[in-house]
Amino acid sequence: MKIGIVGLGLIGGSLGFDLRQRQHTVVGISRRAETGDLALRQGAVDIAATSLEAIAAAQLVFVCTPIAAVAPAVKQLASFLPASTVITDVGSVKTHIVKAASLHWPNFVGGHPMAGKAEAGLAAAEAGLFDQRPYVITPTVATPPNAISLVEEVARSLGCHLYRCPPETHDRAVAWISHLPVMISAALIQACLSESELDVMQLAQQLASSGFRDTSRVGGGNPELGTMMAQFNQAALLQALQGYRQQLDQIIDQVASQDWPTLQQTLQQSHQTRPQFVDRPPAH
Amino acid sequence: MKIGIVGLGLIGGSLGFDLRQRQHTVVGISRRAETGDLALRQGAVDIAATSLEAIAAAQLVFVCTPIAAVAPAVKQLASFLPASTVITDVGSVKTHIVKAASLHWPNFVGGHPMAGKAEAGLAAAEAGLFDQRPYVITPTVATPPNAISLVEEVARSLGCHLYRCPPETHDRAVAWISHLPVMISAALIQACLSESELDVMQLAQQLASSGFRDTSRVGGGNPELGTMMAQFNQAALLQALQGYRQQLDQIIDQVASQDWPTLQQTLQQSHQTRPQFVDRPPAH
């Protein structure tokens, strides 16, 4: 199959490696010609170009740009692609993207392969990045079934665990387990910085160990990415933040009123239920 | 030197290994005789006993019991130890312990060697546990200088990085970097459990990955330990929780009002300042 990839970063480049290994012909589009050259040299694409028109003959197009650029790219592609081409994306929020992209292209299927690494960009791309990782497909009632099947078939061929749900369900789920953690973790760093006594602050910095390291990790991550997540998943994130604040207030009340039996129950429940999130086997 | 260790768990046992290696004679006290037998077989103590009186001749005594048992143990020891014996402890909160223990024993020096591992108990004890780890000594204005020197000398011989501060400074610092993270991390687990739509909850559980894993780790830890920390460091923890809530509310406001430039500034500051806590070299 001829497959187009728009945006040759970590995800686009890694997809290119995997799809070429599976005998597809990959046409990669990047804004800068040097990126395309690198992708050719690395073997991530068969053909590199800086103009979208180069993928006119593709049966499937992965749009792997930053979130804000997905719908504009789909709009441009719509001006020349044959109506049978399926377009999908890899963005980490779905409601906003699916709504905007579907207006330009009925054969659009939202998708989110949940793989990543600390490094970004094409240089960090690698084959097998998606193997055994979740891949969420977010069709709407209007999405053509054969378009869904095509994207799912390719995703499955990458070794992914497939999930299918409405865009809104995806966005609420990732708000809880991905976007909310960034915000509460950033608030921890901010709170420690608010300590007014210098000797306490300095000692805290000296003594911070694995507990602080882990709890603060995602809050100390890429600020642009965190802001973009919040911006494009605002409603679900806000709901998660408000739910979180209620739980936090209960714990504050328990500590303030020295209600140790109830606090211990809370911590006991957290201890017992965490494995439902972190030790759960994939569905399929 | 003859050194007593009261309580042969992870910390007491590990201290025993290190102190024996440094040619001290270690007398270990445990409530259960089997624990003492195991400590003898492992080589963590020279002499094991179930009665405190067995350490009557020790020049230095480490009380390594749970926090609530430290002051009672010191009170018992006070009835027969010579006034020259220095007693110290290893509890993770200090103000409460130092106040209570000093009443029973003027030659008491609060201490907190900040080493640990996931497993608890004597079976997990090991030599070298304290090497290159922080060891906080928390004397008061009334603590005899030679008692401080003795504890610091032994702590330094274990390879620890020494810090000295008032008990209150220690407790405020660990509230920020150790006790607060437990509470905000537990609140994250609680918040995710509060999701009312089953399909969202199930998808969240399926998709939870390294970000959720790290941010929720300490909140899913030992509930008894978390409660005890809160109980014995209530004032400092409450202050930290209230400071945290202010920072969280600012982030919620930024998301609610869609003030993305300010949110990005917040995340940028978190990104830039986290290394002050996690990449800081030890003082000495």
3-state DSSP of chain A: CEEEEECCCHHHHHHHHHHHHCCCEEEEECCCHHHHHHHHHHCCCCEEECCHHHHCCCCEEEECCCHHHHHHHHHHHHCCCCCCCEEEECCCCCHHHHHHHHHHCCCEEEEEECCCCCCCCHHHCCCCCCCCCEEEEECCCCCCHHHHHHHHHHHHHCCCEEEECCHHHHHHHHHHHHHHHHHHHHHHHHHHHCCCCHHHHHHHHHHCCHHHHHHHCHHHCCHHHHHHHHHHCHHHHHHHHHHHHHHHHHHHHHHHCCCHHHHHHHHHHHHHHHHHHHCCCCCC
What's the pLDDT at B282?
62
Distance of CA B54 to the CA centre of its chain: 27
Please state, in angstroms and rounded to a whole number, the distance separating the CA atoms of residues A81 and A89.
16
Tell me which residue in A206, A237, A242 faces B134 most closely, judged by beta carbons: A206
Interface of B with A in 121-150 (CB under 8 A): 134, 136
pLDDT in tens, A148-199: 999 999 999 999 999 999 999 999 999 999 999 999 999 999 999 999 999 9
Whether A237 contacts chain B with CB within 8 A: yes
> What helix, strand, coil percent values describe chain B, rounded to 5?
55, 15, 30
Tokens of B115: 């080493």
- List of chain A residues whose C-beta atoms are within 8 Å of the C-beta of residue B212: 177-178, 181, 277-278
Q: Which of B161, B278, B279, B280 to mutate to test the interface with A (most CBs of A within 10 A)?
A: B278
Report the pLDDT averaged over residues A68-86: 97
Tell me which residue in B200, B266, B276 faces A186 most closely, judged by beta carbons: B266
> Do A177 and B266 lie within an 8 Å CB cutoff?
no
Q: Which amino acid is at B31?
A: R
- List of chain B residues whose C-beta atoms are within 8 Å of the C-beta of residue A172: 195, 197, 200, 204
> Do A258 and B231 lie within an 8 Å CB cutoff?
yes
Whether A57 contacts chain B with CB within 8 A: no
Tokens of B181: 């993270």
> Do B270 and A190 lie within an 8 Å CB cutoff?
yes
Q: What is the ipTM of this complex?
A: 0.92
Please state, in angstroms and rounded to a whole number, the distance separating the CA atoms of residues A266 and B226.
10
Please state, in angstroms and rounded to a whole number, the distance separating the CA atoms of residues A213 and B55.
39
What's the pLDDT at A119?
83
Q: How many CA atoms lie within 13 A of B148 on its CB side?
A: 15
CATH 1.10.3660.10 domain residues, chain A? 170-278
Tell me which residue in B173, B203, B282 faces A169 most closely, judged by beta carbons: B203
- List of chain B residues whose C-beta atoms are within 8 Å of the C-beta of residue A176: 191-192, 195, 200, 204
> Do B216 and A277 lie within an 8 Å CB cutoff?
yes
Whether A239 contacts chain B with CB within 8 A: no
Show pLDDT as tens, one digit a residue, over chain B (284 residues): 999 999 999 999 999 999 999 999 999 999 999 999 999 999 999 999 999 999 999 999 999 999 999 999 999 999 999 999 999 999 999 999 999 999 999 999 999 999 887 788 999 999 999 999 999 999 999 999 999 999 999 999 999 999 999 999 999 999 999 999 999 999 999 999 999 999 999 999 999 999 999 999 999 999 999 999 999 999 999 999 999 999 999 999 999 999 999 999 999 999 999 999 998 766 55
pLDDT in tens, A6-42: 999 999 999 999 999 999 999 999 999 999 999 999 9
Closest CA of chain B from A149, distance in Å = 20
> Do A204 and B173 lie within an 8 Å CB cutoff?
yes
Closest CA of chain A from B130, distance in Å = 14
> Do A191 and B182 lie within an 8 Å CB cutoff?
no
CA nearest to B246 within chain A = A191
Whether A214 contacts chain B with CB within 8 A: yes
* CATH code of the domain occupying A2-165: 3.40.50.720
CA nearest to B227 within chain A = A264
Distance, first Cα to last Cα, chain A:
25
Taking a C-beta distance cutoff of 8 angstroms, is the pair A87, A77 a contact? Answer: yes
Interface of B with A in 156-195 (CB under 8 A): 161, 163, 165, 169-170, 172-174, 176-178, 180-195
- List of chain A residues whose C-beta atoms are within 8 Å of the C-beta of residue B188: 180-181, 184, 244, 247
What's the pLDDT at B24?
98
Q: Which of A135, A188, A246 to mutate to test the interface with B (most CBs of B within 10 A)?
A: A188
Whether A23 contacts chain B with CB within 8 A: no
CA nearest to B221 within chain A = A271
CA nearest to B233 within chain A = A255
Q: Which helix (H) or strand (E) holds B78?
A: helix B67-78
Residue A80 φ/ψ, nearest 5 degrees: -135, -15
pTM for the structure as a whole: 0.92
CATH 3.40.50.720 domain residues, chain B? 2-165
What's the pLDDT at A279?
82
> Do B258 and A114 lie within an 8 Å CB cutoff?
no
What's the pLDDT at B180?
98
pLDDT in tens, A217-274: 999 999 999 999 999 999 999 999 999 999 999 999 999 999 999 999 999 999 999 9
Closest CA of chain A from B167, distance in Å = 11
Interface of B with A in 256-275 (CB under 8 A): 256, 258, 260, 263-264, 266-271, 273-275
CA nearest to B92 within chain A = A207
CATH classification (class only), A170-278: mainly alpha
Closest CA of chain A from B93, distance in Å = 13
- List of chain A residues whose C-beta atoms are within 8 Å of the C-beta of residue B199: 165, 169
A-B Cβ pairs (cutoff 8 Å, strict): 337
